[in-house]
Amino acid sequence: MKLGVFLSEYRTGADVLDRLTADKLGIIFVGNGVYNAAVKENGKASSVLEKKASFYVLAEDLESRGFTAANVDSRVKLVTYGDVVDLIFNDYEKTIWI
């Protein structure tokens, strides 16, 4: 199964991600979840980025929180709303929101 996960919170949800199994996993950071893509605490990136997955961050949500593409971890791809629609319809069979 190809699973797309919308992660809308920071510091929560990693335990749920640990329990998910999929042939292809994509994590899309939205809302406050964008902090996982841009913030480093004590020099370390979010533990979510250690998962075996493709990572995306919604540009509009990132910018509304004062970040730019330069703040985003290199493992994360910046996407627009249109890109998210394409991911849902072309890349992932199922989606969930955590």
| DSSP track, 12-71 | SSHHHHHH---SEEEEEE-GGGGHHHH--BTTB--GGGGSSSEEEEEHHHHHHTT--GGG
Each residue's pLDDT expressed in tens, for the chain with a length of 98 residues: 999 999 999 987 788 888 998 999 999 999 999 999 999 888 899 999 999 999 999 999 999 999 999 999 999 999 999 999 999 999 999 999 99
Smallest CA-to-CA distance from 38 within 2, 64, 17 is with 64
User: Which value, in Å, is the radius of gyration of the alpha carbons in the chain?
Assistant: 12
This prediction has a pTM of 0.94
Q: What pLDDT shows up at residue 79?
A: 98
d(CA 48, CA 1): 20
Domain chopping of the chain, boundaries: 2-97
CATH class of this structure's domain 2-97: alpha beta
Q: Supply 40's token pair.
A: 């480093």
